[in-house]
Structure 1
């Protein structure tokens, strides 16, 4: 699903004092958010689970966080819910089996750069783009797949406010799979700028990581331009990558 760019604001050459005060206020607010972001307590987290609706969401949403957890010695499990086959449905050179296999390899390569071994990554293989149409049996299969690991100290899952329908379905599945997990963080990959309903955010920032994250995102070749024979296919364009590879990642508790 394409990212909706926000409106561009053009300021006059000379800003009035009220605009300067507002700018200073905005800087103070951003600084306060940065302080809140550094206040996320990862002490005592020995086991974290990151649930990604699609291969690449784990990196877009939480690469910095995963790196921080691994540096602290925490076990990190990655659960990728869908098979990722919907990004290029019409590609002749990348039929579904090849695309699904490559998207899994992309996640494993990217997570290796964050220190997560392959045996800590699980792919549930549910239909990409079709989670809203799951029948009861498929839902139960998904819940079993999510529940089969010990309850984590920290759960990182999509937000119900994400604009992508698969992400919203996964968010609700996680609520059912781990109803008692107290410490959890919610993330939004695709924001809906028309909807003001948002959980209040805290942020986690790791200084000096944007370039590294961008390099890791290039591991997802199928999502960054290698497939050229599907005009309707999805690709992460440079403006999207810039937004997704900033020095901070947003989470809501």
Structure 2
């Protein structure tokens, strides 16, 4: 992995859009950044791509419609903890676990519609090779839906736990940034805890998904990890100043 530098949230211009393939990706991968940006008074918006409805497919207490409704509410609660109000959130409700089967042009069109109200000056989206198929399927349509002038940061979710050598970026691809969780650790913990369904809160589906305690602790201890393409015009302009 390329040598990392500390990220200064104050260098990121608003509006800032945080894109999550699933409810909870943003609290695991970039909650400290979101909290820092809202504390600075930046205009932060959040976009959810899938409905999160595949995490507990065998639960009778949480059939699909109830699960997706609950997970959307958990997502908004976690964002509220970090300072993002509900009116600055949008959800596309695309099928969880099947994003690769959705036409990328359709995803891009719907993302562009969401961005239209407040075109992003900064876009924070999952790392292009993060080890989850929905994360990878999210990357290109979202990247291409943003204005060319937007600065783009890619955050890691599953990369530290599941990424093989080919998943990690090279020194020729990106600049690597890190952000300590620091004073945001408590708020990040509260935001993660808002996702009750993913923290063992659905006991009638023992094969359903539960966040591993080790992953939660790594997310809380930090640092958060961000990658910025070396071919990005905004980064090149920053280098020239």
Identify the TM-score tier after normalising by the shorter chain.
0.7 to 0.9
Q: TM-score, normalization: structure 1?
A: 0.80
Where 1:85 maps in the other structure, the secondary structure is: coil
Residue aligning to 1:15: none
| C-alpha distance in 2 between matches for 1:44 and 1:56 | 22
- Is 2:133 aligned against 1:158? no
Q: Separation in 2 of the partners of 1:230 and 1:70?
A: 37
Which position in structure 2 is the counterpart of 1:195? 165
Residue of structure 2 in register with 1:111 after alignment? 79
Q: Structure 1 188/47 Cα, relative in aligned 2: closer, same or farther at 3 Å?
A: same
Q: Is 1:52–1:80's contact at 8 Å kept on the other side of the alignment?
A: yes
2:6 matched to 1:37? Answer: yes
Shift of 1:146: 4.0
Aligned counterparts, 1:210-221, within 5 A = 210-221=185-196
Separation (CA, whole Å) in 1 of partners of 2:123 and 2:104: 24
Aligned to 1:82: 50
- 1:62 is aligned to 30
- Label 1:149 to 1:168 Cα distance change in 2 as closer, same or farther (>3 A): farther
1:170 and 1:149, CA in 2 relative to 1: closer, same or farther beyond 3 A? farther
* Residue aligned with 2:183, SS: coil
Q: How does 1:95-106 map to 2 (within 5 A)?
A: 95-106=63-74
TM-score in terms of structure 2 length:
0.83
Q: Is the 8 A contact 2:179 2:224 kept in 1?
A: yes
- Asked if 1:130 corresponds to 2:105, the answer is no
Mark the runs of 5 or more structure 2 residues left unpaired by the alignment.
229-241
Instruction: Give, in angstroms, the shift of residue 148 of structure 1.
Output: 2.6
Q: Is the 8 A contact 1:78 1:121 kept in 2?
A: yes
